[in-house]
Amino acid sequence: MRSFLKYFLLIICFTFNVESLLWASVEDSPPRKLNASPELLGKGKFLFLKFCAHCHGNRGGGDGFNAEFLDKDPAELSNSKFLAKRSNEKLFRVISIGGAKVKKSHLMPAFGHTLSGEEIWSLVVFIRYLGNDKSPVVVPKDVQSDRPLEPVLTRPDMLSFSKWFAEKGQKKEQVDFGKILVTNKKSCLGCHQLNDEGGRIGPNLNRSSFNYKPEWLYAWISNPQNFRPGTKMPNLGLEPEEVRAITSFLVSFQAEEGDEKFETPEDWKQYLSAKGDPKRGENIFYDSEGIANCSKCHLVKGRGGAVGPDLSYVGTSRTRKFLLESILNPSAVITHGYQTVMILTKNQKFITGIKKNEDESGFDIVDKEGKNLYISREKIKKFKIQKISSMPGNLGDLLKVKDVTDVLAYLESLTLPVITNSEN
């Protein structure tokens, strides 16, 4: 009997602690009654903070950091009146198929092609929890627990696209159709900036034609989860003709004004026209005693540092001009997710690193040595996001032209065969 009581008390304590911890970083209020299992609630919280909080806010108040950039205010998911008007099935439906298909804002993405049915139900559970809604959420017994994988592009798919793009990719009807999809039909501007409009979650699209190769845009937009399962960008379930049109629009797009307009400097032509030696470039890249020492900060197929962007398939995704700019003038455009933050703590200590995540509780950063650090806002006196890249800006002065062209050749050799011909 004594053993039974001890076991029973342990269960009670564990359940209470899980509930308290789940709520601690979301809102300063007493723990609320669970409307589903702690495991499902925990999963919902994790997914909400990853995919939803940037617009809807950590507490569901519609006040996420991205909300100010949207034409329509995000729903206040913690509002009891809002929740009272919506069944669990309706919440599940809008998360699954997106705002446009339920006659709401097209800026709300569809997650049904990215998350499993079970994961979407966990979001419903957590949203009810945010609104202190105690009504139970019953998950269907036959719900799918595996995430969708389709579409998975093949080499023939990419060859078909390349042929189509060469023949029709820059035709006005394709560009115009893509513009309509990006600006008025799909959720692109909920996360991405175009001219001065759109969200700030994903990369700025104003320089898409300069930054990205058409084949990469087509493959990535078709299903970003295939290439980076941890990305926040969902698979929107687009039809192939829609992806083609969006690619055509982005490749043809020219920003109205600002730094996004770019002309190749005259002295860059010597780099762009030269044929480099990729093997020698690889040696320069990995030379820890050399001037460049690229691998200290950059990862290539599991080898190198994690301070800067992973370059494993950069030859597939990025244009030659972009790669050269990144070497000679890295501060021109800092790759999304790799901005440097300078923090002054309350004990007068300066900490600098790459900002990986920011929320109301603090910053996750990677310092120059590649160490992961978490800095609580309680310890921060002030901080500033730097406009200068952490990558050295004087490599063009320190390296010979041949060194740069050889490194450029090596980077261009880092390709994903399903998208790029290995001979390229």
Is 142 domain-assigned?
Answer: no
> What CATH number is given to the structural domain containing 116?
1.10.760.10
pLDDT greater at residue 15 or residue 329: 329
Indicate whether 242 and 289 sit together in one domain. Answer: no
234-283 tens-digit pLDDT: 999 999 999 999 999 999 999 886 655 567 888 999 999 999 999 999 99
Q: Which of 1-5, 184-188, 328-332 has the highest mean pLDDT?
A: 184-188
Residue with tokens 């600098």: 352
pLDDT at res. 356? 76
Indicate whether 214 and 281 sit together in one domain. Answer: no
Q: Is the pLDDT of residue 31 over 60?
A: no
For residue 412, give the amino acid letter: E
Average pLDDT, the chain: 89
Q: Is the pLDDT of residue 27 over 90?
A: no
Is 150 domain-assigned?
Answer: no
Q: Which two tokens stand for residue 85?
A: 């008007």
pLDDT at res. 135? 84
Is 307 domain-assigned?
Answer: yes
199-211 tens-digit pLDDT: 999 999 999 999 9
Indicate whether 209 and 119 sit together in one domain. Answer: no
For residue 39, give the amino acid letter: E
Least confident of 38-42, 61-65, 354-358: 354-358
pLDDT at res. 33? 54
Q: Is the pLDDT of residue 338 over 90?
A: no
Q: How many domains does the chain have?
A: 4
Q: Percentage of residues in the chain with pLDDT exceeding 70?
A: 89
pLDDT at res. 17? 40
Q: Is the pLDDT of residue 316 over 80?
A: yes
Indicate whether 118 and 8 sit together in one domain. Answer: yes
Determine contact, residues 83/213, Cβ cutoff 8 Å: no
pLDDT at res. 364? 85
- Residue numbers of the domain that contains 177: 155-252
Q: b vs e for 282-294, b when ≥16 Cβ sit within 10 Å of the residue's Cβ? A: bebbbeeeeebbb
**Helices 155-168 & 214-222, crossing angle to 10 degrees?**
120
Is 202 domain-assigned?
Answer: yes
Determine contact, residues 295/308, Cβ cutoff 8 Å: no
Beta-bridge mates of residue 373: 365
Is 369 domain-assigned?
Answer: yes
Indicate whether 229 and 296 sit together in one domain. Answer: no
- CA distances from residue 118 to 103, 127, 156, 222 in whole angstroms, order as listed: 24, 14, 33, 23
Indicate whether 29 and 46 sit together in one domain. Answer: yes
Q: Residue 22: which pLDDT band, with cuts at 50, 70 and 90?
A: very low
Indicate whether 57 and 101 sit together in one domain. Answer: yes
CA dihedral 120→121→122→128, nearest 10 degrees, is 110
Determine contact, residues 110/101, Cβ cutoff 8 Å: yes
Q: Where are the alpha helices (DSSP H) in 318-400?
A: 320-328, 395-398
For residue 31, give the amino acid letter: P
Is 149 domain-assigned?
Answer: no
Sequence-separated (6 or more) residues with CB below 8 Å from residue 141: none
| Cβ count near 18 (within 10 Å) | 17
pLDDT at res. 32? 53
